[in-house]
Amino acid sequence: MLEMKLKAILTCFFSILDIAVIILAAHAGPLTVHSSNPRYFTDGSGKAIYLTGSHVHDNLVDHSERPIFDYASYLDFLHRHNHNFIRMWTWEHARVPRPNNAWLEFDPLPYERTGPGSAVDGKPKFDLTKFNQAYFDRLRARVTAASDRSIYVSVILFEGWSIDGYDRKLGGDPTLKAWDGHPFNNHNNINGVDGDLNGDRKGYEVHTLANPAVTAVQEAYVRKVVDTLNDLDNVLYEISNESRRESVDWQYHMINYIRAYERGKAKQHPVVMTFLWDGPSDDGRGDNGALFASPADAISPGRGPNGEYSGNPPAADGRKVIIVDTDHLGGLDGSPAEWVWKSFLRGLHPIYMDRFGNPGSPPGYEPVRRAMGYTLTYAKRVNLAAMIPRPDLCSSRYCLVNPGFEYLVYLAADSYSTEPPVTVDLSAGTGTLNVEWFNPATGETMAAEKTIGGAPRHFTRPFPGVAVLYISSSLTPR
């Protein structure tokens, strides 16, 4: 009897221990900008955290174009590909026009539809003072489930395409507007709130500070989101996806509003500001200056005036944590898997606008999914907090370096047959350094002959195609 009781006690003890280990392994605390290497976040552990992963439009709000989203399978997919970051999409409108006068409908939304009276879509009008608890319950459940898989979530609070842009982009009857489905359309709510002050049926004013009544409703919604998620460590708040350029002051206000509100809370979380959209003809080549000047902790830029973030990504200089997203970069025709490696080795955080669950998902998506997982493996393996992009130290121009200790170098696929060996300046190193090659096409790692620091050294890749060279000292501090 005593032996059975002892076994039961030990079983209970180890079960509790296992749970504690899982919890500790997931997240050590909310993200903050790393004090010594502000290209990255940290979670209080001192380690620099690299973010990468696939995100999809309907991972929070269902839309009528396809069946209810299988969130559990989505998390399995992310885990299988070694991803640790997603954007969680919101949509502000109840419906938007599609080609051939069809409609795309969204559910659930943050506000209750109580009436009295019918909105433009024939359903009860919104009461903007009453929150739809089902929306916030789903939000919390999905962010919590992501945390259980060690996945960080950028919670999108507002959506730029929920006003004028969506109907222009998708065509259809020009008399039908996305604004017709927005809760802040005065025909759709019982509160007398009118987000379209100039009556042009575009609603641009919603993402400005032009109407204090709208701002007050938005602030109440932001408080509700923060109250719902504040105790969770894996949260970032993203103000809006691709709002127009006139939204800058409003976005700055919302960033500061979140900061002020969270000061009275148990935890504080990073805030992200995203690419500013200039209309249907915008290809993302606008100025990202407003993002860098913002009070946000992290930004997600557009392509930039010369298309730099989609081709030859500039090295992060630490002004902001930079999350580069194919959603804002024109989809990246060509070799997005190479773009992942190039971005990683320039101190950026690449993420991918995926088509998970869509039967039409092209096979070309898989290499970029794998590339993100591979880069995360290396990010966890190296002493990332000490590494900075140093294009000047390798002839391939893509290298992340802790001089003297660790060198990660990327070699693009072109010119393999005629390419001279890649040169890496190891002048800061001393003694013997370990050398290995990684083949992103196969996932294979190959040890190579060791080298010696103290001077530039030459290395020839042992296989065709893209390659990653990792040089490290056994004395690398951790």
pLDDT digits (tens, 9 = 90+) for 398-435: 999 999 999 999 998 764 444 578 999 999 999 999 99
Nearest alpha-carbon partner for 378 in 415, 340, 412: 340
Nearest alpha-carbon partner for 231 in 23, 385, 72: 23
For residue 200 the two structure tokens come to 């042009």
How many alpha carbons fall within 13 Å on the CB side of residue 57?
16
Tell me if 50 sits within 8 A of 384, measured CB to CB. yes
What backbone torsions phi and psi does residue 409 show, to the nearest 5 degrees?
-130, 135
pLDDT at res. 202: 87
**Pairing between strand 467-472 and 152-159?**
unpaired
Instruction: Report how far residue 307's alpha carbon sits from residue 477's, in angstroms, rounded to the nearest whole number.
Output: 37
Instruction: Report how far residue 104's alpha carbon sits from residue 272's, in angstroms, rounded to the nearest whole number.
Output: 28
pLDDT at res. 23: 41
pLDDT at res. 300: 98
Contacts 24+ apart (CB under 8 A), 334-338: 335/413, 336/367, 336/368, 336/371, 337/367, 337/368, 337/370, 337/371, 337/440, 337/466, 338/371, 338/412, 338/413, 338/466
How many alpha carbons fall within 13 Å on the CB side of residue 66?
13
Tell me if 179 sits within 8 A of 203, measured CB to CB. yes
For residue 302 the two structure tokens come to 């557009």
Integer-rounded Cα radius of gyration of the chain: 24
Contacts 24+ apart (CB under 8 A), 317-320: 317/39, 318/37, 318/38, 318/39, 319/38, 319/292, 320/38, 320/291, 320/292, 320/296
Q: Which residue has the tokens 């575009």?
A: 202
Just give the CATH number of 10-387.
Answer: 3.20.20.80
Instruction: Report how far residue 5's alpha carbon sits from residue 128's, in angstroms, rounded to the nearest whole number.
Output: 57
Domain ranges of the chain: 10-387, 390-472
Instruction: Report how far residue 435's alpha carbon sits from residue 449's, in angstroms, rounded to the nearest whole number.
Output: 6
Residue type, 270: P
Q: How far is CA 64 from CA 112, 122, 135, 177, in A?
A: 19, 16, 17, 18
pLDDT digits (tens, 9 = 90+) for 219-232: 999 999 999 999 99
The neighbour count for residue 228, using CB atoms within 10 Å, is 19
Q: For the chain, which ranges sit under pLDDT 70?
A: 1-27, 101, 164-174, 279-281, 332-334, 359-363, 414-419, 475-478
Chain centre distance of CA 414: 29
Predicted structure pTM score: 0.91
Instruction: Report how far residue 160's alpha carbon sits from residue 134's, in angstroms, rounded to the nearest whole number.
Output: 23
Q: How far is CA 278 from CA 115, 195, 209, 254, 282, in A?
A: 35, 20, 18, 20, 5
pLDDT at res. 121: 92
